[in-house]
Structure 1
Amino acid sequence: MDETERQSADRAGDAQGWDTAKTLAEALPYIQIYDRKTVVIKYGGHAMGESAVAKQFAADVVLLKLMGVNPVVVHGGGPQISAMLEKAGVKSSFVDGLRVTDADTMQVAEMVLSGAVNKEIAHWITMAGRKADVRGIGLSGKDAGLLTVEKTRRTRKDPDSMIEHEVDLGFVGEPTRVDPKLIVRLLESDADWVPVIAPIGVADDGQTFNVNADTVAGALAGSLNAKRMLLLTDVPGVKGADGEIIRQMTVGEASKLIEDGVATGGMIPKLQTAMAAVRDGVEAVVILDGRRPHAMLVELFTEHGAGTLVKAEG
């Protein structure tokens, strides 16, 4: 590298340093807003299987913790469960986006979710935060009575007779009670713990159930009175009738999107989860693309945001 090239590189590095400092200064008001506030993060989708994306996610979670935020991670693992079932020669079926779960499928689901997936995410967070002593701790809804559930009931209307019939989803549950004491103690501890929670719950009779991770995240966020809930998905946000991303909406507006058929497919349960969480006391829920680098940081610490924010009326 000659002298001219060296000077050019120095100028570029100098400019980058000033840009970084400017970004940090602009983030200060938002850092203060989220200081010691709880943010529940639902982490899922196919991005979970990409190690580079997982490592970046873990690094961003650690940065949130070091900036004074209390992150709580709830994860899914649908693709990983499907892959394991396929290896075992078991075919999956779904009703309204929920996997029909017999006893064998439940055993695989718990093994994958509470085992491989949960511990890997907790491990990546620990590795990313090892120099600052930030540590991920893997849990499931079965630990310390965190998540009590009941069997999910679904009905379908016969297209010929128009009579509704109940559909048996097997061991699929819905939260009835959340006891967040363990999570609160971890967040209030002098140690920098980041709870990582698998969506497995237990009924009053002791039976284990698989639970939709979005639903678990929403129920937990409500019980913790979270400042924010971040639903990390594979899309950049909620699209309106014109195909453009809606940056902000109220619960009522979200409900109308569903009623009018604008929101379709997998976006419907995400909006329903967001609306339920807001009604339960979460200040706002944000649906954003978890595949984009630093999407959580952009959402929380800049004025622009990075997805669709759902909030209460008014």
Structure 2
Amino acid sequence: MANSEDRRFLAKAETLIEALPYFQRYAGRTFVVKYGGHAMGDEGAARDFAEDIVLLKAVGINPVVVHGGGPQIGAMLKKLGVESRFVDGLRVTDRQTAEIAEMVLSGAINKQLVGWIANAGGTAIGISGKDGNLVTATRIERKTRDPDSNIEKAVDLGFVGEPTRIDTTIIDTVSAAGMIPVIAPIGSGDDGETYNINADTMAGAVAAALGAARLFLLTDVAGVLDAEGELITDLTPSAIAALSERGTISGGMIPKLETCVAAVESGCDAAVVLDGRVSHAMLLEFFTSRGAGTLIRAD
């Protein structure tokens, strides 16, 4: 009769066997992973995340990390006495704020992530969307409606951009060299300006341009929930539209799902919204039959 140690090793072996078909199916494919600012504050979660990324590379998958950093930017702005203002979840970014955002994103956060991956046994290269002409951005235009007059007005968000062109050459080069690209969501405009880009949006655009097998959006919720609060495991763009119309999907989940829909309709095989606070959630989603989070595929 097997002892407890034998049973533990047997369970590990069974997990590896369960994962084998997934390793084989996606060898040589690309996973784009958006890693959020809040999750970075937990050292244990950060170590798990770095280990997951290194494991993906070790089994022949090419991970590409796009990271956020909103809380860290907010903390630095507060420290410097710069007030933050938001419109529809986007930080109004004047030139001073843009410079601080680039410093935090391309500097401290980016290199911290590179260090975590190195500590887990991987080799990562930290870049931003400005490197190698990776991301060309244009200024975002937003409008808001005055609740009293019902008059629609344009809102100037400053140096907040959205990707308009993606040149994957630098990502392809880094991945082919056996390294892991870690990308800060900063891009250059044709006007020569530097733009701060929402990390979800940037990850979705990169996933579409790479024809990625998966786009993972790591969040602080289990995934998309139905009206009863239960996890929805599979969605399509048409199902998302119906849920939005009924008000089942609301708040910050709406732009995340818009990013997923845009990605899967533009070249990415599938996108997943899942809880980045759960240990190894990404591996559970992809390499086991149980899965985790909400998977979005095109209709």
Scaled to the shorter chain, the TM-score interval is: over 0.9
How far apart are residue 15 of structure 1 and its match? 0.7
How far apart are residue 30 of structure 1 and its match? 1.1
Alpha-carbon separation, structure 1, partners of 2:43 and 2:15: 28
How far apart are residue 126 of structure 1 and its match? 1.4
Moved over 4 A (4+): none
Structure 1 unmatched runs, 5+: 1-6
How far apart are residue 285 of structure 1 and its match? 0.2
Q: Deviations over 1:193-219 (max 9, x none)?
A: 000000000110110010000000000
How far apart are residue 187 of structure 1 and its match? 1.6
2:37/2:72 contact within 8 Å kept: no
Q: Which moved more, 1:44-53 or 1:88-97?
A: 44-53
How far apart are residue 44 of structure 1 and its match? 0.3
How far apart are residue 160 of structure 1 and its match? 2.0
1:47 aligns with 2:39: yes
Selected match of 2:126 from 129, 133, 138: 138
How far apart are residue 262 of structure 1 and its match? 1.1
How far apart are residue 161 of structure 1 and its match? 2.0
1:89 aligns with 2:75: no
Structure 2 unmatched runs, 5+: none
Q: Deviations over 1:64-111 (max 9, x none)?
A: 110111000000000100110111111211111101111111111000
Alpha-carbon separation, structure 2, partners of 1:22 and 1:56: 21
**Structure possessing the higher radius of gyration over alpha carbons:** 1
Alpha-carbon separation, structure 2, partners of 1:296 and 1:34: 15
1:111 aligns with 2:78: no
Selected match of 1:150 from 126, 132, 138: 138
Alpha-carbon separation, structure 1, partners of 2:266 and 2:245: 21
Counterpart amino acid of residue 245 in structure 2: E
2:66/2:184 contact within 8 Å kept: yes
Selected match of 1:76 from 56, 65, 68: 68
Alpha-carbon separation, structure 2, partners of 1:185 and 1:259: 43
1:1-314 map, 5 Å? 11-129=3-121, 134-189=122-177, 192-313=178-299
Alpha-carbon separation, structure 2, partners of 1:41 and 1:255: 24
Alpha-carbon separation, structure 2, partners of 1:162 and 1:220: 37
Counterpart amino acid of residue 295 in structure 2: L
How many matched pairs? Answer: 299
Alpha-carbon separation, structure 2, partners of 1:159 and 1:282: 39
TM-score (norm 2): 0.98
Cα root mean square deviation, aligned = 1.2
